[in-house]
Amino acid sequence: MRSDKIKKGFQRAPHRSLLRACGVTDKDFEKPFIGIANSFTDIVPGHIHLRELAETVKVGISQAGGVPFEFNTMAICDGIAMNHEGMRYSLASREIIADTVESMAQAHSLDGLVLMPTCDKVVPGMLMAAARLDIPCIVVTGGPMLPGKFQGKDVDLINVYEGVGAVSSGKMSMEELDELEKCACTGAGSCAGLFTANTMACLTEALGMSLPGCATAHAVDAKKMQIARSTGARIVGMVKEQLLPSQIMSQDAFENAVAVDLALGGSSNTALHIPAIASELEEKGVKVDLELFDVMSKQIPHIASISPAGEHMMLDLDRAGGIPAVLKALETKLNTDVITCTGSSMEENLAEISVRDESVIRPLDNPVHTEGGIAILKGNLAPNGSVIKQGAVSEDMMTHQGPARVFNSEDECVEAIFDNKIQEGDVIVIRYEGPKGGPGMREMLNPTSAISGMGIESVALITDGRFSGGTRGPCVGHISPEAMADGPLAALQDGDVINIDIPNRLLEVKLSEDEIKERIASAAKPERKLKGWLARYQKMASSADKGAILR
């Protein structure tokens, strides 16, 4: 066992002495040492229950013959960090989380890990660490939040953001917004729709890195506690079998995860996180890029319409059978011979599975849309690609052409929206918000939800930043190269005619290549005074089409 490095032989007497101070007994030195990477914090709803969940994991580990050691990582709530400087730290935190887990596992020679994330950057950060370490690892995600009820309808955080826009346009009263604010977020768990956190939990299960049913088992459901205990027991078995992340997260497994993402119409942020996780396995022959998303989006239909794209919530998806049922519906399009953390193949895991509600998880011959929920657009504005959640775009906005309204930051754009300076037909451009430009590639939930809440229908938004998983509508993000790296967005001026054609995968501006080059050469880039971690991140961050990883 790896842990023999810190517990075997007379030279390790000092190490054992320190471990005894932690309560380790003579018998424990013969058992595998299992780390629990817990992202508990009491300022993030998705994580406030993880302390108790970790205790259940420990029981499972101990009963299976392992010794549990819990440690913590950071977790940022994107909703609380939204629309101010704090959002610059969100994506960057993914790298810190991966480094933290790697550091703790390596420094203490742990034999295996149970990874306990819930929210947006924490899930991919921990999976990056698992791939990098390549020791037995299993994930138990914290689970979704129950939806709230407002005026007889299910609601979640996005309804509150859109409510702000509705109040500013007179479509909702302050009293109604206050009522909505107080009932939308009901307690522990990741926000109740298919936003980034829940999308990543679903893809973790589709990758085979968490037990069947884990992704949609809600935070307050006893089923989550049962899965946590089983997860603790299972990691001990994985250590004995030496079942490694590189064996589970194969190229075929990643393609399964992308297929589930497209079938669910998940968050566009997966086009950052899945390539970032895959980059840790390049030496194993794994490659996931935007091209894979685009090719597969034409093969995999969108079969479940979950908030914000539709009326169903994560609770409905769970009751319909969760990710096992989604995998069953997609079975003929998947690589089902892949090994999973259960020790069995996906095919074996799905043998007794069925879809419980075909109004939530539709059959392949009756999809919500014939193509997958994400599309990759290219053109003279996005030579290296851009990402749109096409499953959340209305039919009449699948193509749009209009004049550019250019802003050099999200803050400038939000001010213009609330000052009623955006007109129907406009294409809002928010630039210098990419991985280097932001830095940190801020999410643009405030402008998109304000537009939706105000009832402005024929406006598009394009950015080298990114969008919350709660965004809906014609919003194109991750435009690469970004403006700060002399991408074409830097050339745009108010009034330039922009063409968005999702069916034909085009994002273009009606300018010649020479005009674009001349304007970029004379563009005045904003200067942001940086210090600390963000300054380092800006220097090292790769482009969005590469997953915004550090290189």
Q: What is the DSSP letter of 223?
A: H
Is residue 375 within 8 A of residue 388, CB to CB? The reply is yes
Active-site residue (options: 386, 468, 480, 542): 468
Is residue 482 within 8 A of residue 464, CB to CB? The reply is yes
- Give the integer Cα–Cα distance in Å for 183 and 187: 10
Q: Which two tokens stand for residue 241?
A: 């079998």
Calculate the dihedral angle through the C-alpha atoms of 377, 379, 383, 384, rounding to the nearest 10 degrees. 10
Could you tell me how far CA 468 lies from the centroid of its own chain? Answer: 9
**Cβ neighbour number for residue 198 with a 10 Å cutoff:** 34
Listed in sequence order, the residues at least 6 apart from 469 whose beta carbon sits closer than 8 Å to its beta carbon are 120, 193, 194, 195, 196, 197, 198, 199, 266, 267, 268, 269, 308
- Give the integer Cα–Cα distance in Å for 502 and 385: 13
Cα torsion angle, 61, 203, 282, 117, sign: negative
Which one-letter amino acid corresponds to residue 141? T
Pairing of strands 67-72, 475-480: unpaired
Q: Which two tokens stand for residue 117?
A: 């994330």
Residue among 525, 485, 479, 503 at smallest CA distance from 380: 479
- Give the integer Cα–Cα distance in Å for 216 and 201: 8
Q: What are the b/e assignments for 18-44, b being 16+ CB within 10 Å?
A: ebeeeebeeebbebbbbbbbbbbbeeb
* Burial degree of 522 (CB within 10 A; 0-12, 13-18, 19+): exposed
- With residues binned 3-state (H G I as helix, E B as strand, rest as coil), the percentages for the chain, rounded to 5, are 45, 15, 40
**Phi and psi torsions of 157, nearest 5°:** -55, -35
Is 468 one of the catalytic residues? yes
Is residue 335 within 8 A of residue 255, CB to CB? The reply is yes
CA angle 257, 258, 260 (to 5 degrees): 65
Helix axis angle for 290-297 and 251-264, nearest 10°, is 60
* Residues identified as active-site: 468
